[in-house]
Structures are given as C-alpha cells and as structure tokens.
Amino acid sequence: MFFSKMHGLGNDFMVINNITQKIVNITPALIRNLSNRNLGIGFDQLLLVNQSKDPTIDFYYRIFNADGSEVEQCGNGARCFAYFVYLKGLTKKKKISVRTKKTHMILEILGNNQIKVNMGEPIFNLSLIPCEWTVQKNYYSIKIFDKNLKFGIVSMGNPHCVTIVKNLSTYEVESIGSLVSNNVVFPNKINVGFMEIVNNSQINLRVYERGIGETKACGSGACAAVATGIYNKLLSEQVKVSLSGGDLYITWKGLGNDMYMTGPATHVYDGYIFL
C-alpha cells in the first residue's frame, strides 16, 4: 500500500490514494497499528481518498482518528487533502469541491502551500452536536474537579466545545480535555478547545481532539473557537489563531455566512507498507 505523510501545522496525516490503488480492508485495528508512532507510521488521522459518484463533487474522502474511529470533519486534513490531490495529479483544478462523511467543502489552492477552505456556516443547533441540552444558550457548564467549567458549543461538521482560559501555557489541557470529551453529556464525544484571547483579532488555542488527545493544531477547532468568540461578541470578523504548530487565519461575518480558514499544508514524504 502506497501512502503519503503530510501535516498541517504539525497535525499529521497518513493519506492513502484509493483511486489508483484499491484498498478494501481498512479496519480500526489496522488504523491503530499504523498510527502507532513507535511501531507504525505514526499520525493523528488517516485520510482515505475516494472517487466521487456525484458529478458535481470532485472527490469524496473518509477521515479516521488514530484510535480507528471515523469522524466527519478535519480542517487541517482538508488543506492536506487539497494539496495531495493537486500534487499527485489527481486534479488540475485549484478550486476543488469535496465531500466527507457529513460535510461538503470548497478547497482553494492559493500557492506557497497555502490552502483556503470554505468550512461552511458554524452550526449552533444543539440537536446536531449532539448533547444533552435542548435549550440554546451562549454558554453551558459541567462540573470538572469540583468546579463548573463554562463553554460554548458549536459544530463545524464535527462537534466542538470551547472554553476561555486566562493562562493557556499552564492549563491542564490533557486531563481536563479528556474528562470533557468523554463526558456522558456528549453521546458521540466532543473536541475540546481552550482559548486565550489576546485581543479581538488574535487568540491562542490548544485543542484536545476526541480519539487522539492534544494535537499541535486543529483547523476545525480553530474555526469553532473563532465562531464561539464572534457569536459572543468577543472577536472581530478576521482572527489570527496561534496554535503550538503555527498560525491559521479565520474569517467569518456572523450568522448566515460561511466561515473561511486559510493556512499551510506540507508534504513530508511518500512511502509504502506491506499489509
């Protein structure tokens, strides 16, 4: 099986072309073995590139977390996907229409490895998250370590909750993120963002991703954080999001409008492995 290793700001991916080669036996156990950073290839997520059966969609692809679970969306993965299909000659288009498990996106290759992604409109409808709450509010809370943790909830095609913290560098992202992500109030688990607001056009962000843990960057998490900030009138329409792996630029004009994310995608190497 031939594959490419890619990353978006350190959030890394194994990308498999399932168009020119046919891979039929991608199981959760195989993904867990491949994702192992000591005994396998090592990655946060696996992207499986498929032909689209819809003439209006250029590609269909599937996204799997390192634990083998399939998810709906990944912003950094979307940028890497766009760069991959262009780099490998699967398309000559610089504006690509793609579909994942639940999301349709437009990906635009800008040059210098920069990719712009139309992430669609952030979703605040609680029934689509899903979660145990039914009444829409600006903030929700659950008790963690005997303290109420307050957060906003939004979907970017995949579910996110976002909490505001004062000192991000010392915050217990791994332990608190795990407790929130796996809490019973989120039946499908949830990604957890920890946002430190620098000013109304810049934030620092760390994200605990369900099925993975903390990653160096999370594109959909960056979008969710900005959506939460703008929804609560804390941020402007254009925001620089600084993650441990680098910066993303998010633009959103508010409810009724699509959100756009711009950032890099990097091809690391090509390889093959015997299954």
Number of domains forming the structure of the chain = 2
> What's residue 253's pLDDT?
98
Residue 31 Cα to chain centre, angstroms: 18
> What's residue 232's pLDDT?
96
8 A C-beta contact, residue 264 and residue 79:
yes
> What's residue 22's pLDDT?
86
**16/35 Cα distance (integer angstroms):** 13
> What's residue 272's pLDDT?
95
Per annotation, catalytic residue among 74, 131, 161, 223? 74
Please compute, for residue 41, the number of CA atoms within 13 A of its CA located in the half-sphere on the CB side. Answer: 29
SS3 216: coil
> Where residue 47 sits, what CATH number does that domain have?
3.10.310.10
Amino acid identity for residue 111 in this structure: G
Q: Are 186 and 249 within one domain?
A: yes
**133/127 Cα distance (integer angstroms):** 8
Of 266, 269, 262, the closest CA to residue 248 belongs to 262
Q: Are 18 and 139 within one domain?
A: no
> What's residue 24's pLDDT?
73
Per annotation, catalytic residue among 80, 161, 218, 223? 218
Instruction: Output the pTM of the full model.
Output: 0.92
Q: Are 145 and 210 within one domain?
A: yes
Q: Are 45 and 29 within one domain?
A: yes
Neighbours of 50 (CB within 10 A): 15
Provide the residue-wise pLDDT of the chain in tens; the chain has 275 residues. 999 999 999 999 999 999 999 887 889 999 999 999 999 999 999 999 999 999 999 999 999 999 999 998 899 999 999 999 999 999 999 999 999 988 899 999 998 999 999 999 999 999 989 999 999 999 999 999 888 999 999 999 999 999 999 999 999 999 999 999 999 999 999 999 999 999 999 999 999 999 899 999 999 999 999 999 999 999 999 999 999 999 999 999 999 999 999 999 999 999 999 88
**149/143 Cα distance (integer angstroms):** 6
Q: Are 137 and 72 within one domain?
A: no
Q: Are 85 and 18 within one domain?
A: yes
Residue 223 known to be catalytic: no
Q: Are 68 and 46 within one domain?
A: yes
8 A C-beta contact, residue 60 and residue 52:
yes
Q: Are 114 and 203 within one domain?
A: no
Q: Are 179 and 268 within one domain?
A: no
Domain span holding position 152: 126-257
Q: Are 169 and 103 within one domain?
A: no
Q: Are 100 and 189 within one domain?
A: no
**210/65 Cα distance (integer angstroms):** 8
Residue 131 known to be catalytic: no
> What's residue 102's pLDDT?
80
C-alpha to C-alpha distances, 78 to 24, 84, 112, 138, 262, nearest whole angstrom: 22, 10, 16, 28, 11
Q: Are 112 and 137 within one domain?
A: no
